[in-house]
Amino acid sequence: TVFNNVALPLQILGLSKAEIVKRVDSALERVALSDKTDLYPGDLSTGQQQRVGIA
């Protein structure tokens, strides 16, 4: 999902789940995708997919 894709680097760094949720929510808000967290990248437009990559 979008959430998992953004959270993966933070999980690798070993951050706590609470910190990961906080940072992912913040990053997705900045790229206007906070309502798309449960979608798979294939369900998004190309522009939205690029914004997930930025987040």
Query: What is the mean pLDDT for each group of 10 consecutive residues in the chain (55 residues)?
Result: 97 98 97 96 94 94
Contact 46, 53 (CB under 8 A): no
Q: Report how many domains make up the chain.
A: 1
d(CA 26, CA 45): 21
Contact 36, 44 (CB under 8 A): yes
Query: Could you tell me how many helices (H) and strands (E) the chain has, helices first?
Result: 3, 0
User: What pLDDT, on the 0 to 100 scale, is given for residue 22?
Assistant: 98
Q: What 8-state DSSP symbol labels residue 32?
A: T
Residue 49 CB contacts under 8 Å (≥ 6 apart), including other chains? 41
Q: Could you list the residue range(s) of the whole structural domain that residue 45 is in? A: 2-54
